[in-house]
Amino acid sequence: MMARGRKTSRGRGRRKSKSRGHRRTALWAIGTVLLVIAAAVAGMILGQGGLAPRIGKRVVASPEQVPRIGPARARRLLDRGEAVLYDTRSAENYRDKHAAGAISFPEADRETLVDLLPMDKVLIFY
């Protein structure tokens, strides 16, 4: 009977140790998940709303970082449906005349329109 008491006592000690270990592991896992979520939210806040425009996965800090393409490449991308053409002039100028297939995107309204831009296409602005 003594032997049983000792095993029971040892078993209880091990359970507590395992329980503490599981608890510690669970806390680390929860902390890691919260950290990842916080980083993702921070990335979304900084990457949208005109604060830090993006080109694909890259954040664009200045106009000099925006890649330039020529008319021939722009036409190929548009013909294949891989790009969208935006006219950044005023709405009045757009109404007067614009490139075929262009969408009005007045620079003055960019803060409200930026969330409407497709993320799966090349965006061409003129």
Q: 3-class SS at 123?
A: strand
Question: pTM (2 decimals)?
Answer: 0.51
Question: What is the CATH number assigned to the segment(s) 55-125?
Answer: 3.40.250
SS3 117: coil
Q: What is the pLDDT of residues 92-117, one digit of tens each?
A: 999 999 999 999 999 888 888 888 88
Tell me, what's the pLDDT at 112? 86
Neighbour-count burial of 53, counting CB atoms closer than 10 A to its CB (0-12 exposed, 13-18 middle, 19+ buried):
buried
Mean pLDDT of 21-26: 68
Report the pLDDT value the prediction gives residue 50, as an integer from 0 to 100. Answer: 43
When pLDDT is cut at 50, 70 and 90, the band that residue 51 belongs to is: very low
- Domain boundaries defined on the chain: 1-47, 55-125
Residue range 30-41, pLDDT digits in tens: 766 666 666 555
Higher pLDDT among residues 22 and 77, named by residue: 77
